[in-house]
Amino acid sequence: MATPNFVILYVDQPLKSGAFYSALLGRAPVESAPTFVLFVLDNGFKLGLWSRHTVEPAAAAAGGGAEIVFALETPDAVDATHADWSGRGLKILQTPTDMDFGRTFVALDPDDHRLRVYWLSDGQQADGEQV
């Protein structure tokens, strides 16, 4: 079976969202056009930002319907990232919180897609099963 390696978010203004993600990810997009922006990360993962006004077939969602997840290695790294993103002016939906899987917080991008940052506590696997 093929392994997914590419996520597309439908956004209102791809170039504006592209500037947001360029600052957040610390890299320039590999493709940038008025209707589509593409980032390729070091691990090969691709993030596309497609205009919700031009995607075909038309998208049913207007934005805010997705969550991008960033895994970090320590709970302190979660708190530090929260402080950094708060300082950049990102809207924070959930402040750092200890949950059953570990420590997490959630911010929003310009189109209200969720950006979840988390540290997976000892005894958890990525699929949520106890080890």
CATH number of domain containing 121: 3.10.180.10
pLDDT at site 15: 98
pLDDT (tens digit, 0 to 9) for every residue of the chain, 131 residues total?
778 889 999 999 999 999 999 999 999 999 999 999 999 999 999 999 999 999 999 887 766 788 999 999 999 999 999 999 999 999 999 999 999 999 999 999 999 999 999 999 986 555 554 43
Same structural domain, 98 and 85: yes
Give residue 41's identity as a one-letter amino acid code: L
Domains: count for the chain: 2
Q: Which two tokens stand for residue 91?
A: 């809207």
Q: Which domain range does residue 24 map to?
A: 1-59
Residue ending a domain, choose from 18, 42, 59: 59
pLDDT at site 2: 78
pLDDT at site 131: 37
